[in-house]
Amino acid sequence: MTAVPDFPFDPKEFIGKRALVTGGTKGMGQAIVRRLSAAGAKVATTARSPLPEGQAPALFVQADISTAQGVNRVASAVLDAFGGLDILINNVGGSSAPSGGFAALSDEHWQADINANLLAPVRLDRAFLPRMIERGQGVVIHISSIQRRLPLYEATLAYAAAKAGLSNYSKGLSKEVGPKGIRVNSIAPGFIETTAATALIRRIAAEAGTDEEGGRKLLMDSLGGISIGRPGRPEEVAELAAFLASPRAASIHGAEYTIDGGTVPTV
Ligand SMILES: NC(=O)c1ccc[n+]([C@@H]2O[C@H](COP(=O)([O-])OP(=O)(O)OC[C@H]3O[C@@H](n4cnc5c(N)ncnc54)[C@H](OP(=O)(O)O)[C@@H]3O)[C@@H](O)[C@H]2O)c1
């Protein structure tokens, strides 16, 4: 990971810190890996596919973390290599459920979305928290979604419900481990133009017989519009994650930060 983030940052802020960012080969995860590494952290990451050429995190573990075995593989590789973690960013999530509303979603679709969006972070937290608690310090961040309170029903009922569970779990966990020195927060992105979002834009465009720009507009319209007039960028989410992971956010705990360009219409 040689590319430098777009925003000014302190290149020494995370020196001596060990981090795991799940799903760090694309999208927001890749931007977060890059941001933490550029500020001096030793960063491990995971993906199901092999590490793409040109990326060089301190540690890469190829595993599907929507399974217990995959999480175990990641946890033992990271504990062997790093001995523990100071920062755990649970970024993996998403859905490949079909469109068609409630009737199109089988038990298998529901379970897959719960596994990737809720159980993966729950299992990883369980693997790493004991050592953080022993040391009396650590930071855990969960990447949720605005869909946890602004659910869409065409293809994402299960995804939105799993993210709602994640945000709720994140708050509950914060109450338990905050007094032991661990800070837990979540981030709820709106439409961020990542690899996954670009694929969705192309699918929407193809279905509607329009071009990529038309597909982007249709996606923005389906969210009720984005006040700032554009989707967010992965680097913008990475800035928020870096801030929350840093001592600058020392009294921010049990909170959820929305980063959606003004999409959610309510207070
Ligand atoms: N993009 C948005 O608009 C948006 C909005 C709200 C919330 N979010 C949330 O933000 C997070 C990141 O989304 P993104 O859009 O950046 O995703 P993305 O571009 O699709 O990247 C996902 C990353 O996670 C890895 N990954 C996916 N499933 C995995 C699994 N089961 N085990 C291990 N690695 C896995 C992917 O690599 P492989 O494919 O090789 O496994 C990739 O590195 C997710 O939790 C998503 O729900 C995204």
Helix%, strand%, coil% for the chain, nearest 5:
45, 15, 40
With b for 16 or more beta-carbon neighbours within 10 A and e for fewer, the 172-185 pattern comes to: ebbeebeeeebbbb
- 120 plus 218 within the same structural domain: no
- 133 plus 215 within the same structural domain: no
20 is written with which tokens?
């795991």
- 134 plus 210 within the same structural domain: no
Q: Give the residue, by CA position, lying nearest to ligand 1 atom 25.
A: 23
Identify which of 1, 22, 28, 113 to mutate to test ligand 1's pocket (most ligand atoms within 8 A of the CB).
Answer: 28
169 is catalytic: no
Domain membership flag for residue 33 = yes
Mean pLDDT in each 10-residue stretch from start to end of the chain (267 residues)? 74 98 98 98 98 98 98 98 98 94 98 98 98 98 98 94 98 98 98 91 91 94 95 98 98 98 97
- 77 plus 150 within the same structural domain: yes
- 151 plus 236 within the same structural domain: yes
DSSP 11: T
- Which residue segment(s) compose the domain that 116 sits in? 18-192+232-259
- 84 plus 110 within the same structural domain: yes
- In ligand 1, the atom with minimum distance to the C-alpha of 231 is 3
Q: What CATH number has the domain bearing residue 254?
A: 3.40.50.720
- 178 plus 54 within the same structural domain: yes
DSSP 180: G
Domain membership flag for residue 5 = no
CB proximity list for 7: less than 8 A, separation 6 or greater:
235, 239
- The pLDDT, as a whole number, for residue 3 is 62
Pocket of ligand 1 (CB under 6 A): 23-29, 46-49, 64-66, 91-94, 116, 143, 145, 189, 191-192, 194-197
- 223 plus 138 within the same structural domain: no
Domain membership flag for residue 87 = yes
Domain membership flag for residue 12 = no
Q: What's the total number of domains in the chain?
A: 2
- 123 plus 241 within the same structural domain: yes
126 is written with which tokens?
């369980």
Domain membership flag for residue 9 = no
Domain membership flag for residue 267 = no
- 177 plus 122 within the same structural domain: yes
DSSP 192: B
- 110 plus 180 within the same structural domain: yes
- 76 plus 174 within the same structural domain: yes
Q: Can you give the pTM of this predicted structure?
A: 0.97
Domain membership flag for residue 81 = yes
Domain membership flag for residue 2 = no
Question: Distance, CA 135 to ligand 1 centroid (Å)?
Answer: 30
